[in-house]
């Protein structure tokens, strides 16, 4: 009965348009009240603060606010414009080069922000008009930027990997290593897609930059390019943990913004802190609601029932298991944010994966690539709405433009799913 109430209230609130954190939290509370029928309400609800505190106070989650602040600092410090200028000087003279610039810079900025929507917001204001000016249709330009932003949750450092690692008790460092090649493959897939679409368009190219211009652009972008080197080099070199790396990235970003580029001031710093606190609060609110949801699932033994059903359905086949995982997460990604989806589905998929001999790191990469695709999939793809706002087009138009990008990403997803070496070669 509690399981029916849990899922029923969740679906009703979701259909009514309630925030996902509210859907998760309220459905969990309703189910807990049903489970504790006949007991004093104080006794039933006393578990709420303990679960919320335990789920949001893990040390590994401390990396999330630091990476959020770091991404906001580098965005306000002018790093995005300098990265775009460097990529344009190197690739702008090639036919379809502007699309390549969009994806290459998305990969670089993803290694700074760790967030899909942040990547779209930081780069879209410059890249979307530039793509349209180069000859790409407005719908495809916005769609390509939205899809490129999704790489931000796959290429390390990724906030989503931190969340998965905290749930599955997996090594964040190993997850970061595993995300590198899949993220680059996603970028390559989008570049090929853009070049194919570009054949049908009257594309314009920029004049070829001289060696001196390229060198000047490189020198200007070096402080920004060093940020992912410092973060990932420090983690992989064993100098500091991912959480410590996140803190280091904040101080480095402030140094670049105030001392080197001098684009930051106290007013911008105030805005950065307000935006970062708001984003962090949203993530933690979702984390607490999703933890309550997972707790009720466990209490109602729905997780065991789902695990048994999956084992029976798969019949021990890894191929069938991943088909189920991909279908479920592609659908869930259309309606849920990645944090909520990870908290709901990781406890369900991870035990089955272990019994089938699947590496938890590989499972994490597959799950997160699925959820990255969800960032630019209608009707609730966050990246789509950010890109629509920047490009001033409707969600219907961008949904048509996203189809080629979606096809390319699904091909990459299949490769990552069934060739574990792609994810695990550096782990």
Domain spans of the chain, in order of start: 60-424
Structure tokens, 327: 């279908």
pLDDT (0 to 100) of residue 254: 87
State how far Cα 125 lies from the chain centre.
20
pLDDT (0 to 100) of residue 345: 86
pLDDT in tens, 2-42: 677 877 888 888 788 777 788 888 888 888 888 776 677 77
Q: What residue ranges in 138-295 does DSSP mark as E strands?
A: none
H or E element, residue 45 = helix 41-45
Question: Using CA atoms, how far apart are residues 201 and 199, in angstroms rounded to an integer?
Answer: 6
Query: Which residue, 411, 414, 420, is CA-closest to 188?
Result: 411
pLDDT in tens, 251-310: 888 888 888 888 888 888 888 888 888 878 877 888 888 788 877 877 777 667 777 777
pLDDT (0 to 100) of residue 38: 66
Q: Are 89 and 217 in contact (CB under 8 A)?
A: yes
DSSP characters for 164-198?
Answer: HHHHHT--HHHHHHHHHHHHHHHHHHHHHHHHHHH
pLDDT (0 to 100) of residue 303: 65
Q: Are 82 and 259 in contact (CB under 8 A)?
A: no
pLDDT (0 to 100) of residue 413: 94
pLDDT (0 to 100) of residue 393: 81
pLDDT (0 to 100) of residue 407: 92
pTM: 0.82
Q: Angle formed by the axes of helices 97-113 and 172-198, to 10°?
A: 160
**pLDDT below 50 — which residues of the chain?**
none
């Amino acid at each position: 009965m509690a399981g029916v109430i849990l899922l029923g209230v969740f679906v009703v609130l979701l259909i009514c348009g309630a925030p996902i954190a509210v859907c998760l939290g309220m459905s969990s509370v309703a189910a807990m009240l049903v489970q504790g029928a006949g007991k004093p309400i104080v006794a039933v609800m006393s578990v709420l603060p303990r679960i919320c505190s335990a789920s949001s106070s893990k040390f590994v989650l401390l990396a999330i606010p630091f990476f959020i602040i770091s991404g906001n600092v580098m965005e306000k410090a002018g790093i995005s414009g300098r990265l775009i200028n460097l990529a344009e000087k190197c690739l702008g003279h090639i036919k379809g080069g502007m699309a390549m610039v969009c994806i290459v810079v998305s990969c670089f900025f993803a290694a700074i922000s760790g967030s899909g929507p942040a990547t779209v917001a930081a780069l879209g204001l410059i890249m979307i008009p530039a793509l349209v000016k180069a000859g790409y249709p407005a719908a495809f330009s916005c769609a390509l930027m939205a899809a490129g932003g999704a790489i931000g949750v796959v290429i390390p450092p990724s906030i989503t990997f931190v969340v998965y690692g905290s749930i599955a008790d997996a090594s964040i460092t190993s997850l970061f290593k595993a995300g590198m090649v899949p993220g680059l493959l996603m970028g390559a897939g989008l570049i090929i897609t853009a070049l194919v679409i570009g054949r049908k368009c009257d594309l314009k190219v920029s004049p070829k930059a001289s060696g001196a211009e390229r060198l000047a652009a490189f020198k200007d972008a070096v402080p920004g390019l060093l940020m992912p080197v410092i973060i990932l080099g420090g983690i992989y070199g064993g100098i500091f943990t991912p959480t410590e790396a996140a803190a280091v990235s904040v101080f480095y970003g402030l140094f670049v913004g105030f001392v080197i580029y001098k684009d930051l001031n106290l007013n911008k710093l105030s805005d950065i802190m307000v935006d970062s606190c708001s984003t962090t609060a949203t993530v933690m609110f979702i984390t607490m609601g999703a933890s309550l949801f997972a707790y009720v699932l466990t209490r109602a033994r729905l997780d065991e029932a789902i695990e048994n059903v999956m084992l029976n359905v798969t019949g021990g086949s890894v191929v069938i298991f991943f088909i189920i995982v991909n279908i479920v997460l592609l659908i869930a990604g259309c309606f849920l944010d990645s944090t909520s989806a990870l908290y709901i589905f990781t406890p369900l998929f991870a035990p089955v994966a272990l019994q089938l001999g699947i590496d938890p790191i590989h499972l994490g990469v597959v799950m997160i690539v699925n959820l990255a695709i969800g960032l630019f999939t209608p009707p609730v793809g966050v990246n789509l709405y950010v890109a629509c706002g920047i490009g001033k087009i409707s969600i219907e138009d961008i949904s048509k433009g996203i189809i080629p990008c979606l096809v390319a990403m699904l091909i990459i997803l299949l490769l990552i799913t069934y060739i574990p070496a792609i994810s695990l070669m550096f782990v």
